Amino acid sequence: MKVYVPLDPPSWTLHADKFLKSFTRRTKAVILNSPHNPTGKVFSRAELLIISQACQQMDCFAITDEVYEYITYDENKHISLASLPGMQERTIITSSLSKTYSVTGWRIGWACAAANIAAAIRNIHVKLTDSAPAPFQEAALVALTSTPDYYESLKKVRFHANCLLLMSSIKFNYPSSF
């Protein structure tokens, strides 16, 4: 059974009491999207600690979607849940080239997990999907070995593109004297 825990606007805050009340003895995993789509919310260290402690107390996994890890619109930095104490062995990180490198049609992604979980994922994956075309794999290698300044330039380009998009949607009514 899926249980959704809503975030509270306008800051899209995770409230500990709502989150903790969503757990039952049948809870096996928590799914977390951070940075969050569509709100852009980056979960704080304090919020991640709430999730981390609950996962450890309830002995469940965390499956994270970190596809937007390099795309944040303020000074908040993405923190992977797996980087917190006790979470590396119980977190499955999923990501892809889709958003950061603007290649959504390529379908090149990955999952990072503890060796035993990664082996199970690999076993299922080879039976369900085909490999990405060789040119896409080569492009992925180039992308993933980019220098960190690429991500900063990407932020600036996206910010300016969003500003232009916003400005193009605003209609100005000038006085007739102009």
Tell me if 178 is assigned to some domain.
no
Within-domain flag for 32:
yes
Residue 59 has a CB neighbour count (10 Å cut-off) of: 9
Assigned domain for 177 exists: no
Query: Is the Cβ–Cβ distance between 39 and 11 less than 8 Å?
Result: no
117 in a domain, yes or no?
yes
pLDDT of residue 104: 83
Write out the two tokens for 14. Answer: 């995770």
Residue span of the structural domain in which 20 resides = 16-169
Phi-psi region of 84 (alpha: psi -120 to 50; beta: other; left: phi over 0): beta
- Does residue 78 belong to any structural domain of this protein? yes
**How many angstroms separate the CA atoms of 176 and 33, rounded?**
49
- The pLDDT score that the predictor gives to residue 50 is 97
**Is 5 inside any structural domain?**
no
pLDDT (tens digit per residue) in 44-85: 999 999 999 999 999 999 999 999 998 887 778 899 999 999
Residue 120 lies in a domain: yes
Structural domain includes residue 40: yes
Q: Which residue has the higher pLDDT, 169 or 114?
A: 114
**Could you tell me which residue, 31 or 99, shows the higher pLDDT?**
31
Nearest one of 3, 103, 83 to 43, comparing CA atoms: 83
pLDDT value at position 56? Answer: 97
CATH of the domain at 154: 3.40.640.10
Note if the pTM is more than 0.85.
Answer: no
Binned at pLDDT 50, 70 and 90, residue 171 comes out as low
Q: What is the DSSP string of 3-60?
A: ---PPBTTTTBPPHHHHHHT--TT--EEEEESS-TTT-----HHHHHHHHHHHHHTT-
- Into how many domains does the chain fold? 1
Percent of the chain residues topping a pLDDT of 90? 49
